[in-house]
Chains A and B, each alone.
Chain A
Amino acid sequence: MTPKTRTIKVSALARVEGEGAIYVKVQGDRVVDVRLNIYEPPRFFEAFLRGRRFTEAPDITARICGICPVAYQMSACAAMEDACGVAVDDPLQALRRLLYCGEWIQSHALHVYMLHAPDFLGYDSVIEMARDHRQAVERGLELKQVGNELMAILGGRAVHPINVRVGGFYRAPTRGELAEVGERLRWARDAALETVRWVAGFEFPEFEQDYEFVALRQPGEYAIDRGRIVSDRGLDIAVQAYGDHFVEEHLPHSNALHSRLRAGGAYFVGPLARYSLNFDALSALAQQAARDAGLGPVCRNPFRSIIVRAVELLYACDEALRLIGQYARPDAPAHDVLPRAGTGHGATEAPRGLIYHRYTVDREGSIAEAKIVPPTSQNQGQIEADLRRLVQASLALPDDQLTWRCEQAVRNYDPCISCATHFLRLHIERG
């Protein structure tokens, strides 16, 4: 007798950035197929970057993603400076970190409150959630607004900032300008602490997984804008060695590449990985909030990522205040960067996890080759593995509940499908 076949399909995933779908096939009591299908059309960034000036990469690659443009700008700058042999240090490095904190604040507030919390509280959207949880939603919207304001002061605007350039900035802010947003950040830090407490009260399924966590690590700081690439299984490499240790594969059902470790398999990037690898580098306030929320120094339950994101939201506010407190306006807003022939690598921590850029530039400064690996394409394999185990463990649930649980499991990763697609590759197998 053929076992009964059950199919879970979500043809258009909601509350994610971009266009994706889930397909799960169950035969009898066995999950036989799981696919996270990314059908966002490819936009060919790596192709049309060829022939552009090395100085254009930050503004162009920002357009890959409207949610995390700073992650692209910072990684592109780091790679170009690496290619040209220029080191950007404090206070410009600190200003970059401050801008990045703004992006973390707005992106994490968006995901925690508007995209993820409705799953835990049983609403289709934040707008419906606001009917019963008005105060919390207003707090989330205001937190996002503070992140946007910090980005606007440093970057000119929150989406596709205009003030970032290879070598630094076009214009460095005055202490007075930063002091204004400092007032707002003090409110935001309290609100972020409230956020940690709020999400810690949600209910979480038991779902501990044995991930290999990969993130940047930099002595003395919670790595955001620089560091070595490390894992909890002994990987510890310079960014320049990325290509020796990671490999990308294309699969027929996705327009984004799947990444894996050459020496292992799927790995995990993002807040859970950063937190578990760098807990010791969080500020005392963020560490205490995490402990009070019931988290240990390592978290392996992706459903609890909403708490970890809230802890990082708190950290970003705390860190931004520290950076503003020690800020002295630099003499020049940027280092001069002259082109030279070579290849440069850059990696930073986007809100969703490790992002890697590599460019080859000729001696006139024209881009000959570009390679960009965003967090979501690295997490694809892990998302599918989670779905497989989750469905296998939850077969008793009726279809509608199981479907919602699958969607929630994808949203645990805050996937940015717009980002993930620019790599590849529409593969349609024709019979």
Chain B
Amino acid sequence: MAAPRRPRLAVWKFASCDGCQLALLSCERELLALAGEVEIASFLEASRAAGSGPYDLSLVEGSITTAHDAARIQHVRRVSKYLVTIGACATAGGIQALRNFADVREFIAAVYAKPEYIETLATSTPISHHVRVDFELQGCPINKLQLLEVIRACVQGRRPSIPGHSVCVECKRRGTVCVTVARGTPCLGPVTHAGCGAICPAYDRGCYGCYGPMETPNTAALSAEWQRLGVSKPALRRAFRGVNAYADAFRKASESDDT
């Protein structure tokens, strides 16, 4: 009897820092085992050999910032059974989405000697604004154990088990004393998606929201609490306008009159 066909995996890159793809290369011990379970058919950062589609699972890193990339993501969707975005760029537009809040012409003119040569879209947008996405893995950078879970789930045809609760739950689990309650340190943990392992409070700093919004975050309550701690409205707006600035909940919070 012939061995069952291994599912074919592809990794795609758009505007990004490569850090989320690196999570796959950083699955050191797991990488060789994974290579036995799935066929890594296209992964340019790791291999010269580019297999052609179709693919069972496409992992997409990066946001859409050029017309060429807007067309390329349509191709990726067509050749992929499952399309999963990895990281804040692909899921929320990334830090480069800060241009979405600026006048991009002023932006370009301020930096570039010859603005007419710049070919870029006025916005940096998440993959889901362009094509149907089967699952979004949040984080800047993503957690490699969560990435392995997503790959296994897709191979097995089930929904990935990625909890949507806040960083606060991870702090409790880790036994970290709340930095806001104990020391009055402003922390985005109550509105931020879990997955990092609540690292920042464990290192004596407040969460800065790099995993993006949790499911149904109460940003209004958080804004009020930060202002009670003495944080100015401009500082609060900057806090929401980080690597996940264009994620819906954080964008609305940064545009609200309360901030």
Contacts and interface: CB of A to CB of B under 8 A. Distances in A.
A156 B202 CA distance: 9
Contacts of B204: 170-171, 333
Interface string B188-207: 00000000100110111100
Contact of A162 (B40, B96, B199): B199
B8 interface: no
A65 to B, nearest CB: 5
Contacts of B141: 66, 157, 159-160
A261 to B, nearest CB: 21
A236 interface: no
A121 interface: no
B233 to A, nearest CB: 14
B99 A67 contact: no
Interface in A348-407: 407
A235 interface: no
Interface stretch (B115-123, B125-133, B166-174, B213-221): B115-123
A250 B102 CA distance: 25
Interface string A242-273: 00000000101000000000000000000000
Given A66-B19, A157-B199, A127 B243 contact: no
Contacts of A114: 25, 46
A93 B258 CA distance: 41
B35 to A, nearest CB: 5
Contacts of A144: 26, 28
Contacts of A241: none
Contacts of A115: 46
B17 A64 contact: yes
Contact of A127 (B47, B118, B235): B47
A159 B119 contact: no
B44 A14 contact: yes
Interface string B1-43: 0000000000001111111111101101101100100001001
Interface in B78-133: 94-96, 98-99, 102, 107-108, 110-114, 117-120, 124
B182 interface: no
Contacts of A301: none
B47 A42 contact: no
B26 A158 contact: yes
Interface in A12-31: 12-19
Interface residues of A, number: 68
Pick the most buried of A17, A63, A118: most chain B CB atoms within 10 A of its CB: A63
A347 B22 CA distance: 25
Contact of A427 (B16, B114, B208): B114
Interface in B34-85: 35, 40, 43-50, 65-66, 69
A17 B117 CA distance: 25
A425 B117 contact: yes
B38 to A, nearest CB: 11
Contacts of A13: 44
B99 A48 contact: yes
Given A47-B107, A157-B196, A160-B141, A425 B118 contact: yes
Contact of B96 (A44, A163, A252): A44
B32 A137 contact: yes
Contacts of B249: none
Interface string A133-164: 00001100110110010000000111110110
A69 B16 CA distance: 13
16 contacts: A14-B46, A17-B45, A41-B14, A41-B15, A44-B108, A60-B242, A65-B19, A66-B16, A66-B17, A124-B49, A127-B32, A137-B32, A156-B200, A157-B199, A418-B18, A424-B112
Given A47-B111, A48-B95, A127-B46, 12 more contacts: A43-B15, A43-B65, A44-B98, A47-B102, A59-B208, A67-B22, A114-B25, A115-B46, A124-B48, A127-B32, A162-B208, A170-B205
Task: Give the top 5 A-B pairs by smallest Cβ distance, nearest first.
Answer: A66-B19, A125-B47, A124-B49, A141-B28, A43-B96
